[in-house]
C-alpha cells in the first residue's frame, strides 16, 4: 500500500442552506485515503459522512478548503471514481446483463470486450446464471451484487460506497461483507466506505475515521490491525475485535447520545 494519498480533504468546510439559514455540514475537515486502502467513515447521523462522498465525486463543491484527487483539485465530476449508493438504482426494465454492462456501453467499449468483462464479473460476484434475470426477480443480496458488478466492471481507480448494505437483513449483510472482502482481496481497489455500523466498519476496513457531530470534523482515527483475509462470521469473537470496538465506541457514544436527545 502506497503512502501517497489518492484522495485528500484539506481544511474542507461544506455549507448547505435551508431557506436563508446556513447549515454547516463539515468544518475544517482534514483526511486522506491512500492507494489500495480500505477506509471506513463512521459518525452520528447528520455529521456529513455522505457529503464526503459527494465532494470526492465532484457532485458538490466545498465552501472552503480543497478536495484533491491524485494531486489535482476536484472541480468537476470525478470520472475516475465509482459510486455505489444506499439504493442499488438498477434499471428495472433491463436484465442483469444490461445493467452491468450499461456503463461500458456508454464508454463505447467494444462489444467483444464488454462480453468478456461481463463473464468475468458474473463469476466474480456470484451472478453466473442470473444474467438474463430482471431486478424484480432478484433477492436484496443479489441486487447488491449486481450493483457492485456494475461499478467494478469499468475498473474505477477508487470506489465510493455509501452504506450499500444498510437495508439488508443481518445474515445477508454478513454474506455481502464476505463477498466484498473476497473481491477486494483480489483487486485491492481503493475504497472509501460510509457506514453507521461500527461492526461493519471494523470487519471491512484497514482504517476507520470517526467524525464528530455536525459540523463534522475528524474526531478519531484508528488502524484496524486485524489479519486478512477476514471471516465476518467469526471475526467478532476475536478479543482484538472487542478492543477496537470499545475504543471506537468511546469516541462515538457521546455524539450519538447527544443526537438522540435533540
- Per residue of the chain (262 residues), give pLDDT as tens: 667 799 999 999 999 998 889 999 999 999 999 999 999 999 998 899 999 999 999 999 999 999 999 999 999 999 999 999 988 889 999 999 999 999 899 889 999 999 999 999 999 899 999 999 999 999 999 999 999 999 999 889 999 999 999 889 999 999 999 999 999 999 999 999 999 999 999 999 999 999 999 999 999 999 999 999 999 999 999 999 999 999 999 988 888 766 544 4
CATH class of 1-80+160-262: alpha beta
Rounded to 5 degrees, φ, ψ at 250 are -60, -35
* Location of each CATH 3.40.50.300 domain in the chain: 1-80+160-262
Rounded to 5 degrees, φ, ψ at 78 are -90, 95
For residue 224, what pLDDT is reported?
97
CA-to-CA distance for 195 and 150, rounded, in angstroms? 21
Helix (H, G, I), strand (E, B) or coil at 12: strand
Residue 163 DSSP label = S
According to DSSP, the β-strands at 190-194 and 38-42 are: parallel
CA-to-CA distance for 161 and 38, rounded, in angstroms? 11
Residues β-bridged to residue 67? 9
CA-to-CA distance for 49 and 211, rounded, in angstroms? 8
CA-to-CA distance for 8 and 26, rounded, in angstroms? 14
pLDDT in tens, 160-171: 999 999 889 999
State the pTM of this model: 0.93
Amino acid at each position: 500500500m502506497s503512502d501517497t494519498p489518492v484522495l485528500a480533504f484539506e481544511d474542507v468546510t461544506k455549507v448547505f442552506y435551508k431557506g436563508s439559514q446556513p447549515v454547516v455540514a463539515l468544518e475544517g475537515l482534514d483526511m486522506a485515503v491512500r492507494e489500495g486502502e480500505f477506509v471506513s467513515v463512521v459518525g452520528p447521523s447528520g455529521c456529513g459522512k455522505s457529503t464526503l462522498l459527494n465532494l470526492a465525486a465532484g457532485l458538490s463543491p466545498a465552501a472552503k478548503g480543497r478536495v484533491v484527487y491524485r494531486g489535482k483539485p476536484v472541480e468537476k465530476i470525478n470520472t475516475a471514481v465509482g459510486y455505489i449508493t444506499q439504493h442499488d438504482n438498477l434499471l428495472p426494465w433491463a436484465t442483469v446483463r444490461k445493467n452491468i454492462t450499461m456503463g461500458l456501453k456508454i464508454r463505447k467499449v467494444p462489444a467483444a470486450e464488454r462480453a468478456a468483462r461481463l463473464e468475468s464479473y458474473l463469476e466474480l460476484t456470484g451472478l453466473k446464471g442470473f444474467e438474463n434475470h430482471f431486478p424484480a426477480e432478484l433477492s436484496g443480496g443479489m441486487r447488491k451484487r449486481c450493483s457492485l458488478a456494475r461499478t467494478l466492471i469499468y475498473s474505477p481507480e477508487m470506489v465510493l460506497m455509501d452504506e450499500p448494505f444498510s437495508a439488508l437483513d443481518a445474515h445477508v449483510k454478513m454474506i455481502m461483507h464476505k463477498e466484498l472482502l473476497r473481491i477486494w482481496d483480489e483487486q485491492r481497489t481503493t475504497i472509501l466506505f460510509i457506514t453507521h455500523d461500527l461492526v461493519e466498519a471494523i470487519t471491512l476496513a484497514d482504517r476507520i475515521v470517526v467524525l464528530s457531530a455536525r459540523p463534522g470534523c475528524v474526531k478519531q482515527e484508528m488502524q484496524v490491525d486485524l489479519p486478512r483475509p477476514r471471516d465476518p462470521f467469526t471475526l467478532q469473537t476475536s478479543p482484538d475485535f472487542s478492543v477496537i470496538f470499545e475504543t471506537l465506541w468511546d469516541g462515538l457514544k457521546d455524539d450519538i447520545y447527544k443526537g438522540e436527545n435533540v
